[in-house]
């Protein structure tokens, strides 16, 4: 990752992953501690495909892996999300975990992007 950042003169946005950047550290950590598996629109739409690649289409193994590490799936909707309720419900049923929902704004993402832009300006 460091080589990519250097090559493109880019900076790393603070955060463990895109979900933490969207939710903010505190909310992200709170949900992780409760056992959430974060389900974004793209993953919900491609869930069977992605898990099939990872677990060789073995539903029993897929369920076991998800249930070992998670208590529920948390569908994350932003103002830019299309409706992915049906896809999320299918994913939830596939791994036999309850589905919860969270609607978020893009405020935290916007702040992180502003911070990254300001940091980059200061480095130039």
4-60 pLDDT tens trace: 888 887 877 878 899 999 999 999 999 999 999 999 999 999 999 988 878 888 889
Task: Place 76 in a pLDDT band, splitting at 50, 70 and 90.
Answer: very high
The mean predicted confidence, pLDDT, of the chain is 92
Give the domain ranges of the chain. 15-123
Closest CA to 94 of 54, 123, 51: 51
E strand intervals along 16-124: 36-39, 72-77, 99-103
| Full-model pTM | 0.85
């Amino acid at each position: 990752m460091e080589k990519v950042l250097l090559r493109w003169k880019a900076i790393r946005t603070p955060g463990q992953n895109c979900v933490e950047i969207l939710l903010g550290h505190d909310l992200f950590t709170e949900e992780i501690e409760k056992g959430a598996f974060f389900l974004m629109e793209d993953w919900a739409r491609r869930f069977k495909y992605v898990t099939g690649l990872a677990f060789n289409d073995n539903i029993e193994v897929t369920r076991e892996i998800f249930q070992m590490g998670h208590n529920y799936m948390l569908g994350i909707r932003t103002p830019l999300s299309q409706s992915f309720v049906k896809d999320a419900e299918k994913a939830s049923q596939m791994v036999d975990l309850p589905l919860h929902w969270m609607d978020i704004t893009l405020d935290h993402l916007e702040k992180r992007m502003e911070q990254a832009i300001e940091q980059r300006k200061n480095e130039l």
